Amino acid sequence: MTNNPRVTVLMSVYDSEKFLREAIESILTQTFTDFEFLIINDGSKDSSLKIINSYKDPRIRLISRANRGLTFSLNQGLEIAKGEYIARQDSDDISVPERLKKEVDYLDTHPSVALVGSNYTVIDDNGDTLTTTTVFTEPNDLKLTQITCNQYGHGSIMLRKSILKKTGLYDKSVGYVEDYDLWTRISRVADIANIEESLYLYRRNADGVTRQNLDLQIQQTFAVRDKAFRHFLKHRGQYKVLHYHPGGERYRQRKAVLYRDLAYLYRSVDRPLGGICMMMLATLLEPLNRKNYLSIISILYKPRFDRWEYEFL
């Protein structure tokens, strides 16, 4: 490993023995090799530390200490990372062999983009495929969509370390959605993007922290969402609401969901005109979708708010 690697791969580990070898080896076997692998053992009580120490690859840089939590560990890693680019990797997930190369190539050729992720494949504990995401990929779409929901798999991202001087690090106060909050802050000062190809395997682990606290995570997600919407209302000119990126029927369906969710948020702050405008855009994209017309009626006549279902992209 050089003293100035292009990339720092950052992974926090806490009691991850079950899938840790797969996660580590998926990074060590990347086709792109100019990286340091910064592993923070966050006070694991199982055999995680022993597993990490069994690897003698010089690119591994290990920090082992008492437990301080995920957000503390990630911020520690961001502060000491040597790479120009920082890639995340979770300790129970898998990166496909060309992930780092493709993300480095993307950032190298798109200097206005500070954050890039990819679609990702959801797998179960056995490694069997459950589904593959269809996230938005284009910067203008993503800047707008980040208001309503997170479009990134946390472990799939790579970012420019330099952008953190403008945004700060992860915010512990937002809880389990520290990634959604940071990506949204980055989107306000730089372009963000996703690669359409699935480059990451995200393990839906029943023992994972966010799975165990799903209700709280949803509550915290909505708190970040509402904060992002307030920023949108105050800085409306920064967002290209009318932007359309040709992408076929599936793209039109997803963009219509985005507009319906923005209409919902306009309605929640008693700004019906904005809601109607969003619903007109949704209807242009999906003129045969009954939801659009019911939502327009809901805005105009204000029936019980819980009749309008918020849609997660």
Q: What is the structure's pLDDT at 56?
A: 97
Collapsed DSSP state (helix, strand, coil) of residue 113? strand
Cα separations in angstroms, 61 against 31, 99, 233: 19, 20, 44
Q: What is the structure's pLDDT at 303?
A: 61
Q: What is the structure's pLDDT at 213?
A: 81
State pLDDT tens for residues 44-92: 999 999 999 999 999 999 999 999 999 999 999 999 999 999 999 999 9
Phi, psi of 135 (to 5 degrees): -75, 160
Sign of CA dihedral 165, 170, 172, 173: positive
Please say if the pLDDT value at position 208 is more than 60.
no
For residues 200 and 250, give the distance between their C-alpha atoms in angstroms, rounded to a whole number: 22
List the single range of 4-13, 38-47, 199-208, 226-235 with lowest mean pLDDT.
Answer: 199-208
For residues 160 and 107, give the distance between their C-alpha atoms in angstroms, rounded to a whole number: 8
Q: What is the structure's pLDDT at 146?
A: 97
Phi, psi of 118 (to 5 degrees): -155, 165
Nearest CA-CA partner of 193 in 113, 250, 294: 113
At 205, the pLDDT band (50, 70, 90 cuts) reads confident
At 310, the pLDDT band (50, 70, 90 cuts) reads confident
As a whole number, the mean pLDDT across the chain is: 94
User: What sections of the chain are H helices per DSSP?
Assistant: 20-28, 48-53, 70-80, 99-109, 139-145, 164-167, 178-187, 209-212, 214-234, 248-268, 272-285, 290-301
Cα separations in angstroms, 115 against 71, 121, 206: 19, 19, 29
Sign of CA dihedral 60, 65, 71, 72: negative
Please say if the pLDDT value at position 297 is more than 90.
no
State pLDDT tens for residues 218-234: 899 999 999 999 999 99
State pLDDT tens for residues 148-190: 999 999 999 999 999 999 999 999 999 999 999 999 999 999 9
List CB contacts of 230: < 8 A, sequence separation 6 or more: none
DSSP state of 128: -
Q: What is the structure's pLDDT at 3?
A: 79
Please say if the pLDDT value at position 114 is more than 60.
yes
At 258, the pLDDT band (50, 70, 90 cuts) reads very high
Collapsed DSSP state (helix, strand, coil) of residue 272? helix
| % of the chain exceeding 70 in pLDDT | 95
Q: Which residue, chain included where needed, has tokens 């990819």?
A: 118
List CB contacts of 75: < 8 A, sequence separation 6 or more: 169, 170, 172
For residues 60 and 52, give the distance between their C-alpha atoms in angstroms, rounded to a whole number: 9
For residues 39 and 112, give the distance between their C-alpha atoms in angstroms, rounded to a whole number: 29
Please say if the pLDDT value at position 235 is more than 90.
yes
At 28, the pLDDT band (50, 70, 90 cuts) reads very high
List CB contacts of 281: < 8 A, sequence separation 6 or more: 241, 242, 256, 259
